[in-house]
Amino acid sequence: MKKRIEALKRQRCAIILAHNYQPPEIQDLADLCGDSLELSRRAAATDAETIVFCGVRFMAETAAILSPQKTVLMPRPEAGCPMADMITPEALAARKAELGDIPVVTYVNSTAAVKALSTICCTSANALEVVESLEADRILMGPDRNLALNTAARTAKQIIPWSGCCPYHDRLSVQEVADQRRAHPGAIFLAHPECRPEVVAMADAALSTSGMLRYARESEESEFIIGTEVGLLHALAKENPGKRFHAVSGKLVCPDMKKISLADVLGCLERMDGQVTVPEKIRRPAHAAVERMIALAK
């Protein structure tokens, strides 16, 4: 199956991008695995004609926003992000009207229509940098309440959080972390900023998925408790054969990230289906918000 995928990839001039939570066989197949920020940068920069996006809808949509001339395909188009559905453009427009003229920082885990109403996007890797880049001292940040609160703890600016969350990261409790710390004394605990502030407060570092990979690679420590979706453990173990990684909770699994199989990737390249497009009147303002974020790192 891998050989057929490789042949079709060449024929279609395609690139396969995969998020760090994807199943191991998809991570191993991909041309690039990364966090949301790396994947959006790569989607903007690639000269491939087709992008096969192994992740959830908002990620593929971001690629389509950045590269409208490319064909962006999702092997399982129904893979979504429940957090992205916790904010609608109508609700955001109403809240903006209530709050007056304040900037809106929107996590990339959101629909294109919500991005279109935002000042700038952010990911878990650059949320603080994005907030600090704005002149205003009062900022609306959504849809992730935890990312907003964890960012608020590191800035002097007033952050008004939206009330969404990742149902899986948000469920991680202080008790579970304490149990893992007791089971693995001396291990470093890394938390994703989508975890609750009280969980992040227990962490040695709060990082995006690729931030965790970098930390583990560069650290002299040899044992880590990983406070994010279990898919990241595959890349961590692969890159660091001499180090040990423990999932903070076996329940931290995102079912939408686990939908894609090799057969789905093959089928989508054969049929060229599962195309993700964004209507131009939404794409343009959404592009401005995503591009403002990407420009910060240039």
Residues forming the site for ligand SF4 (CB under 6 A)? 56, 81-83, 109, 166, 168-169, 194, 229, 254, 256-257
Q: Which of the choices ligand SF4, ligand 13P, none does residue 82 contact, using the CB cut-off of 5 to 8 A by kind?
A: ligand SF4
Residue of 46, 39, 142, 111 lying closest to 276 (CA atoms): 111
Cβ 216 to ligand 13P shortest distance, Å: 14
At which residue do the structure tokens 């690729």 appear? 210
Ramachandran bin of 161, using left for φ above 0, alpha for ψ from -120 to 50, beta for the remaining angles:
beta
CB 134 within 8 A of CB 141: no
Residue 254's φ and ψ, nearest 5 degrees, are: -100, 105
Q: Which of the choices ligand SF4, ligand 13P, none does residue 124 contact, using the CB cut-off of 5 to 8 A by kind?
A: ligand 13P
- The smaller minimum CB distance to ligand SF4, of residues 5 and 146, is found at 146
| Residue 93: half-sphere exposure toward Cβ, Cα within 13 Å | 7
Q: What is the DSSP letter of 160?
A: E
Cβ 110 to ligand 13P shortest distance, Å: 11
CB 159 within 8 A of CB 150: no
- The smaller minimum CB distance to ligand 13P, of residues 194 and 264, is found at 194
Q: Which of the choices ligand SF4, ligand 13P, none does residue 86 contact, using the CB cut-off of 5 to 8 A by kind?
A: none
Q: Which of the choices ligand 13P, ligand SF4, none does residue 35 contact, using the CB cut-off of 5 to 8 A by kind?
A: ligand 13P
Cβ 281 to ligand SF4 shortest distance, Å: 26
- The smaller minimum CB distance to ligand 13P, of residues 36 and 67, is found at 36
Q: Which of the choices ligand 13P, ligand SF4, none does residue 256 contact, using the CB cut-off of 5 to 8 A by kind?
A: ligand SF4
What is the C-alpha separation between 143 and 88, in angstroms, rounded? 9
- The smaller minimum CB distance to ligand SF4, of residues 113 and 172, is found at 172
Cβ 16 to ligand 13P shortest distance, Å: 17
What is the C-alpha separation between 143 and 106, in angstroms, rounded? 7
The distance from CA 19 to its chain's CA centroid, rounded to whole angstroms, is: 7
- The smaller minimum CB distance to ligand SF4, of residues 58 and 224, is found at 58
Q: Which of the choices ligand 13P, ligand SF4, none does residue 232 contact, using the CB cut-off of 5 to 8 A by kind?
A: none
- The smaller minimum CB distance to ligand SF4, of residues 50 and 228, is found at 228
Provide the binding-site residues for ligand 13P, judged by CB under 6 A. Answer: 20, 35-36, 109, 123-124, 166, 194, 208-209
What is the C-alpha separation between 169 and 164, in angstroms, rounded? 12
- The smaller minimum CB distance to ligand SF4, of residues 80 and 267, is found at 80
The distance from CA 153 to its chain's CA centroid, rounded to whole angstroms, is: 21
Cβ 231 to ligand SF4 shortest distance, Å: 9
At which residue do the structure tokens 């057969």 appear? 263
CA dihedral over 219, 40, 159, 145, signed as positive or negative? negative
Cβ 88 to ligand 13P shortest distance, Å: 19
CB 47 within 8 A of CB 69: no
